[in-house]
């Protein structure tokens, strides 16, 4: 039986984030459902690691006292699957912004693509995208980007444990990545294109695992809402 006390003491909720939802919208929706169900004014709900609006997949939510565990979950290794599209770049490194440059991909072979992954295995220095929520001088990077203001973004160390190409249908390259906290898959896609002396952007992304938690055990927002009605 799901009780108010259970949510207040703390629960870990595995949500399969829908496309075009922000992580914040998912948190707000789940918090609203809990408050409505139990007719309360406040309940702590937070997520353990943002997913971009154009990404789907595993979002860990913590309620009540378990919100103190969020940093522990954020620090765990993550797994993603997705698609990199070669031959074009975008300012956001994904489909959130329009293509700004086109490249000739006629010379790129499958062998080039497969060998290219080796440059990204292990600890590497990665530059976060300008369209991100990271802060510089108290201001979000995406705010600078929208204002057309250039800012220097320092690279930071991240770790790529695995980077496997699962299908190649040029210009689209499907992949699976296992990586550390702080890794931007959009930046990985962008850098993947640069390493091929070309351009690339992330065209789809799905988070499949966080530590031992799998999206296979997650539920959609609507499914969670339906289940709540049966309490």
Q: What pLDDT score was predicted for residue 5?
A: 93
Q: What pLDDT score was predicted for residue 136?
A: 61
Catalytic residue among 16, 52, 94, 191: 52
Q: Is the peptide bond prior to 171 cis by the omega test (within 30 degrees of 0)?
A: yes
For tokens 């997520």, the residue is: 47
Q: What pLDDT score was predicted for residue 194?
A: 97
Active site residue 52: yes
E strands present in 76-179: 78-86, 88-89, 101-102, 122-126, 135-136, 139-140, 156-169, 172-179
Q: Which CATH code fits 78-210?
A: 3.30.2350.10
Tens of each residue's pLDDT in the chain, 231 residues:
478 899 999 999 999 999 999 999 999 999 999 999 999 999 999 999 999 999 999 999 999 999 999 999 999 999 999 999 999 999 999 998 899 999 999 999 999 999 999 999 999 999 888 766 666 666 666 665 565 666 677 789 999 999 999 999 999 999 999 999 999 999 999 999 999 999 999 999 999 999 999 999 999 999 999 887 776
Q: What pLDDT score was predicted for residue 229?
A: 73
Q: What pLDDT score was predicted for residue 6?
A: 93
CB 200 within 8 A of CB 85: yes
Model pTM above 0.85 = yes
- What's the burial of 3, exposed, middle or buried (CB within 10 Å: 0-12/13-18/19+)? exposed
Q: How many Å is the maximal CA-CA distance in the chain?
A: 62
Q: What pLDDT score was predicted for residue 137?
A: 62
Q: What pLDDT score was predicted for residue 128?
A: 86
CB 76 within 8 A of CB 181: yes
For tokens 């929208």, the residue is: 146
Query: Domain locations in the chain?
Result: 4-75+212-228, 78-210
Q: Which of 92, 96, 103, 99 is nearest to 54 (CA)?
A: 96
Q: What pLDDT score was predicted for residue 227?
A: 85
CATH topology for the 4-75+212-228 domain: Pseudouridine synthase (3.30.2350)
Q: What pLDDT score was predicted for residue 130?
A: 76
Q: Which of 225, 202, 204, 210 is nearest to 26 (CA)?
A: 225
Identical fold, 4-75+212-228 and 78-210: yes
């Amino acid at each position: 039986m799901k009780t108010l006390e259970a949510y207040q003491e703390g629960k870990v909720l595995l949500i399969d984030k829908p496309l075009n939802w922000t992580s914040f919208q998912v948190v707000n929706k789940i918090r609203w459902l809990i408050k409505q169900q139990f007719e309360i004014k406040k309940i702590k709900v937070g997520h353990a690691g943002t997913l971009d609006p154009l990404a789907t997949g595993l979002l860990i939510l913590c309620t009540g006292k378990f919100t103190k565990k969020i940093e522990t979950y954020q620090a765990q290794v993550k797994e993603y699957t997705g698609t990199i599209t070669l031959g074009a770049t975008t300012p956001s490194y994904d489909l959130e912004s329009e293509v700004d440059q086109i490249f000739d991909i006629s010379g790129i072979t499958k062998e080039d693509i497969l060998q290219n992954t080796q440059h990204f295995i292990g600890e590497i220095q990665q530059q976060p995208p300008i369209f991100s929520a990271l802060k510089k001088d108290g201001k979000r990077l995406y705010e600078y980007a929208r204002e057309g203001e250039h800012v220097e973004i320092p690279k930071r160390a991240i770790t790529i444990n695995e980077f496997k190409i699962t299908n190649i249908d040029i210009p689209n390259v499907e992949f699976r990545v296992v990586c550390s906290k702080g890794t931007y898959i959009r930046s990985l896609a962008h850098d993947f294109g640069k390493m091929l002396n070309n351009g690339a952007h992330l065209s789809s992304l799905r988070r499949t695992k966080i530590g031992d938690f799998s999206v296979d055990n997650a539920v959609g927002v609507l499914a969670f809402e339906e289940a709540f009605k049966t309490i």
